[in-house]
Chains A and B, each alone.
Chain A
Amino acid sequence: MKELNEKMTIVKLLGSRDNGFALTLVIVFIGVFFTMATMFYYFNLNQKPLVDLLDRSTATDYLVSGLAEIFKMKVKEFPEEFRESMIRVESEASSGANPWANMQTTSSASDPPSNKKYYNYFHDFKFVTDSSWETGTMSSWNAYWQLFSDSIFKGTEQDNTAFKNTMREFVEKYDFIVDLSEIKRIHIGLPEARSGGEFVTDLIQITFDSKYKTSAKIVGKRRHDITFDFKRRFTN
């Protein structure tokens, strides 16, 4: 009976006209609802920023996976050159420098500095400077990205120029850049005897960084790690 009385007291308290507590709750609830709705409407809070981010994130994913395929192909076609370049880059990194960052910033034109010729192997995958992207211009595109350039060699490229123009349109449309960030030989295997000689299997990790701006000028960043195994003939 005592408990029932206590419950009744609470019910009475909530519903009491003298106290006004229930009315306060209702007013606060409705007030918050109206305020939030007004803010959502006037500040234009909708799903567009999320859609924008997903667009750019997907676009960078596919471009990075494509660039990684090209890089794998280059390693496969030019394994010894890759090894020579990596030994020098790793040596530079072990002395405290950051060759991957310097690879781009120290080069204002299309080629790496002459005292770091081994940057050439990786330079094909750094195709637009941060500064040109941040200022909203892609003027350095043609000077910088030599991978599909026909300026050095004239001849048989079928679609290089048309593709590069379309790709430029694509990159400007989604306002992003993709940049080679780092390459690591994360595992160097031991020689194994196979038919045709001895082979070594290495694990190579390629890292790309992407940055993108949404239409609301929100800047997003992502890191893409792609690992592949590479079997090479053991020569030394």
Chain B
Amino acid sequence: MYRPDRRNINSPFRVPRRRGFTLVEILIALLIGVVAFYPIIQLFQSGIKDSMHATNWTQGRELAKSYTDSILSQKYDDLPHGGGSWTASFVVGSAANPLRFPKSDVIKGVQFKTTCQIFDLVPTFGNYSINRAGTETIDHLKLKNVLKGVIVKTTWKGVGKDLEYWVLTFKTNLFQGTNTVFER
């Protein structure tokens, strides 16, 4: 019986030898693959969480800014005294255009709650002056009914904990003329 010599390099029936992978090689390759892919998978997961966190945070910050601007755009006399509590409910603005706090907004399934505090402040200004005789004097004068401190806080549920953003600024009665009361 004729048996072609497949190993002879000059034989027309020669088939090149092909080596397969051993089980150990495949297991090592799998191990390397798992080690390499683990951070990739984690990265996708943390990337999604991070993106949601940043989006919500930006949204919370923008809401706090927006409500602060709304408060600042009201007339000075339409800002009630609301200091000392984050839970107090009160109305800012005129009766015709009221802005009721706390405010609740739901954006893309996330609930944002915005509260504010408004403080009646009496600043004490140190004033330098010099009279005609050249004498230097320092007066400490208090101004009443001219200044309010405004603090706005937006809170929302983050991943596993409550998150918040604050904005703090001041409102003066600068554009309404002065009804200042001085006190030395």
Residues of chain A having any CB pair with chain B under 8 Å: 34, 37-38, 40-42, 46-48, 50-51, 54-55, 58-59, 62-63, 65-67, 69-70, 72-74, 76-78, 80-81, 84-85, 111, 117-121, 123-124, 146-150, 152-153, 155-160, 162-163, 166-167, 170, 173-174
Contact = CB atoms under 8 A, between A and B. Distances in A.
Nearest to A110: B126
A120 B166 contact: no
Given A58-B65, A76-B174, A160-B122, A47 B140 contact: no
Interface in B139-176: 140-144, 146-147, 149-151, 165-172, 174
Contact of A47 (B50, B84, B168): B50
B50 A147 contact: no
A69 B170 contact: yes
Interface residues of B, number: 56
Interface string B119-133: 111111111111000
B100 interface: no
A153 B144 CA distance: 13
24 contacts: A37-B39, A41-B39, A47-B54, A51-B58, A55-B61, A58-B167, A62-B168, A63-B169, A73-B147, A74-B125, A77-B146, A78-B127, A78-B141, A118-B128, A150-B124, A153-B124, A153-B183, A156-B122, A156-B183, A158-B81, A162-B83, A162-B119, A166-B168, A173-B166
A93 to B, nearest CB: 16
Contacts of A65: 169
Given A37-B40, A50-B54, A58-B167, A124 B123 contact: yes
Contacts of B130: 84
B175 to A, nearest CB: 10
Contacts of B42: 41
Contact of A163 (B39, B53, B119, B171): B119
A170 B166 contact: yes
Given A37-B40, A62-B65, A77 B124 contact: no
B83 A163 contact: yes
Contacts of A162: 83-84, 119
A46 B138 contact: no
B53 A47 contact: yes
Contacts of B54: 47-48, 50-51
B177 to A, nearest CB: 10
Contacts of B70: none
A38 B120 CA distance: 53
Nearest to A54: B61
A46 B127 CA distance: 49
A158 B84 CA distance: 11
A59 B129 contact: no
A149 B40 CA distance: 55
A54 B125 CA distance: 32
Closest 4 A/B residue pairs (Cβ): A66-B170, A66-B169, A159-B119, A120-B126
A147 B167 contact: no
A42 B149 CA distance: 44
B94 interface: no
B167 A152 contact: no
Nearest to B136: A117
A81 B128 contact: yes
B90 interface: no
Given A46-B46, A47-B50, A152-B124, A73 B174 contact: yes
Given A146-B124, A156-B144, A84 B167 contact: no
